[in-house]
Every structure is written in structure tokens, then in C-alpha cells.
Amino acid sequence: MISSNLILRISLNLCKLKNTIKMKKSIYLLCTLFLVIAFSCKNEKKEESTIESTEMEEVVSAEKASDVKTISVALEPKSGSAVSGEVVFTQKDGKVTMVANIKGLKPGEHAIHLHEKADCSAEDATSTGGHWNPTFENHGKWGSSEGYHKGDIGNITADENGVATLTFETDEWCIGCGDDKKDIVGRGIIVHEGVDDFVTQPTGNAGGRVTCGGIIE
């Protein structure tokens, strides 16, 4: 690549040449052409750098404004099941959105909860402990006036192919904020064999634990 400065120098020299020798049409044209190229190159460079710095400013201010945090969790089969999936938690503007994609389920409803610990080591996932309940309330349906655990997400429905998806949003959770009553980091995601009845204490009588994932930063 020939730099614009070099082109500019060549064109200026050509212009001098034009003055010393008898004016020739071709030299005059070349001189003009080079000058035009040189100046347009310089202008392009200026525009490029202006666009780059504007884009960078926009990215920085967007990050500051929303402070987005994301954790992706892989679910592993438990209790001899073939249930697996992925759960993504995203914190933005003071809310956490959970998007779950689960496969290998029996068609129909299944309970889904956050349990106390991110430890999925046990074959039946009992190593995750009970429902995450930092506010010491009764088990119940999310939002119920009679109380609910902060891990009582509810039920998901698997289609005839055993696939279930869920989008759940709340401002009662956070990702890594350090507030024991809100922070989901260090908790476990459990999907059950059965349905949460929202009544039976303290489990919802949802049966075995068929898949497990730890929420770890």
C-alpha cells in the first residue's frame, strides 16, 4: 500500500515540475489526479477513526447502564434418566431471566426448582439438598400470598418429543450480588420426575430428581 503522504509528496513534486518546465497537459492532469487521490485517502482515514471511537464509546456506556451478567448451566441426567439440557440466567436492569431448554423428559408436566446447593455429585441428585428457601417460607406456587420458596419456579410441560422450554423472569433473584436472600450463585437446578402440587410441604411431592445442574460463576 502506498501511503497517502507519499502520494501527496509525489503530486506536489509533479506540480513543481509543471512550473519549471514548459506546461504539458499530461503532467498537469497527473498532478491534479494525484492530489485528488491523496486528499481523498486522508479524508477516508479520518472518517474511519471517528467511527471506531464512536462505536467504542457506545459499547462502554451500554455495559455501564445495564451491567449484564450471564451464567450458562448444563443439566446432567440423574436417577437413571436420559434428561439433559441447558439453562441460561441473564441479569439485566435489576432482573434475572432464566431460559431453560430441556430434553429427554416424559411428555407432560414436571416440577422445576432451585435447590440449596450446586452439588450434583449424588446419583439421585439429593446432594443439592432441599428447595432453596432463604426467606424461611412455606413451599408453594411462585408469588402466592401464602408463601413460596425462592426456588419454587413451578412446573414445565414437555411435548410429545420430551422437550420442554421455559422463560422465567424475576427481580427476586440476582447473580452474584452477595445478598443471601437473592443470590442464585451456588444453588442447584433440579427437574423432577413428577408434578409440583404446590401444597405438599416442603417438596410439592414432585418425586425423583431426573436432571441436575449447579449454578456456578
User: Which of 78, 110, 115, 149 contacts Zn ion by CB under 5 A?
Assistant: 149
Comparing C-alpha atoms, which of 87, 97, 91, 99 is closest to residue 211? 87
Q: Are the beta carbons of 193 and 208 closer than 8 angstroms? A: yes
CA–CA distance, 51 with 150 (Å, rounded to integer): 46
150 is a contact residue toward Zn ion (CB under 5 A): no
- The H-or-E segment that residue 55 falls in is helix 25-66
Least distance to Zn ion, CB of residue 200, Å: 10
152 is a contact residue toward Zn ion (CB under 5 A): yes
**Positions 103 through 132 that interact with Zn ion (CB under 5 A):** 131
Q: Note if 110 is an active site residue.
A: no
User: Hey, which bits of the chain come out as E strands?
Assistant: 69-77, 84-92, 95-103, 108-115, 154-158, 164-170, 188-192, 209-214
Using alpha carbons only, what angle is made at residue 203 by residues 199 and 207, rounded to the nearest 5 degrees?
110
196 is a contact residue toward Zn ion (CB under 5 A): no
Tell me which residue has its CB nearest to Cu ion: 113
Specify the DSSP class assigned to residue 23: P
- Nearer to Zn ion by Cβ, of 83 and 112: the residue is 112
Q: Which of 9, 110, 124, 131 is catalytic?
A: 131
Q: Which grid coordinates belong to 12?
A: 506536489
Q: Note if 113 is an active site residue.
A: yes
- Which stretch in 31-39, 67-75, 95-103, 136-144 sits in contact with Zn ion by CB under 5 A? 136-144
User: Which of 115, 139, 192, 209 contacts Zn ion by CB under 5 A?
Assistant: 139
Binding site for Zn ion (CB under 5 A): 131, 139, 149, 152
Question: Which residues are part of the catalytic machinery?
Answer: 113, 115, 131, 139, 149, 152, 192, 209
